[in-house]
């Protein structure tokens, strides 16, 4: 198993044990986006914002991990529009 798959599996296990931890969802989103799995990364980011919008809005807007998707409409709707 390569390191990416191993890391994703660790996040999956953590999320299955406690799906209310926004940090876990956020870190999995970062990992997915950095590995060009944009749709699943955006799905994770949506969950982050359901759990803790205020805590992640500025962080996600500036996070270098999301620079490749920052111009996408869906990213903008998640981070900047939905309240």
User: Rounded to whole angstroms, what are the CA distances from 70 to 23, 38, 42, 43, 51?
Assistant: 19, 11, 11, 14, 21
78 with 49: CB under 8 angstroms?
Answer: yes
Query: What is the predicted pLDDT for the residue at 22?
Result: 97
Look up tokens 């931890």; give the residue: 21
CATH of domain 3-81: 1.25.40
Query: What is the predicted pLDDT for the residue at 81?
Result: 78
Please report the beta strands in 1-83, taking only residues with DSSP state E, as ranges in sequence order: none
Averages of pLDDT over runs of 10 residues in the chain (83 residues) are 91 98 98 97 97 94 96 95 60
DSSP H helices, the chain, are 3-17, 22-34, 38-62, 73-76
Query: What is the predicted pLDDT for the residue at 68?
Result: 95
Query: What is the predicted pLDDT for the residue at 1?
Result: 59
Q: Domain residues of the chain, as ranges? A: 3-81
């Amino acid at each position: 198993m390569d390191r990416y798959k191993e890391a994703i599996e660790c996040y999956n296990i953590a999320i299955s044990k406690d799906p209310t931890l926004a940090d876990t969802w956020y870190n999995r989103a970062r990992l997915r986006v950095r590995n060009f799995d944009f749709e699943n990364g955006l799905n994770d980011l949506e969950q982050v914002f359901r759990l803790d919008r205020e805590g992640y809005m500025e962080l996600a807007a500036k996070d270098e991990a999301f620079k490749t998707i920052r111009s996408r409409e869906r990213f903008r709707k998640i981070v900047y529009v939905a309240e």
